Amino acid sequence: MWAAADALRNNMDAAEYKHVVLGLIFLKYISEFLAEVQGMFARLASAASNLV
């Protein structure tokens, strides 16, 4: 993972690189949150179909 981060950074200044890293961290957070919400809706749909 460190090698990939070094390759991504290459000759980029740390002040610029932080924006890339913070963006990736944000995307990871959103991805995990949406997966959790999707699971919640799947459970709700399953429970609703059991009521019919």
Domain that holds residue 15: 2-51
What does residue 11 show for φ and ψ, rounded to 5 degrees? Answer: -105, 20
Mean pLDDT by 10 residues, the chain (52 residues): 76 83 92 98 93 78
End-to-end CA distance of the chain: 49
Q: SS3 of 13, please?
A: coil
Give me the pLDDT at residue 47, please.
92
Give me the pLDDT at residue 28, please.
94
Instruction: Tally the domains of the chain.
Output: 1
Q: List CB contacts of 9: < 8 A, sequence separation 6 or more.
A: 17
Give me the pLDDT at residue 15, please.
85
Residue 44 CB neighbour total at 10 angstroms: 10
Q: List CB contacts of 31: < 8 A, sequence separation 6 or more.
A: none
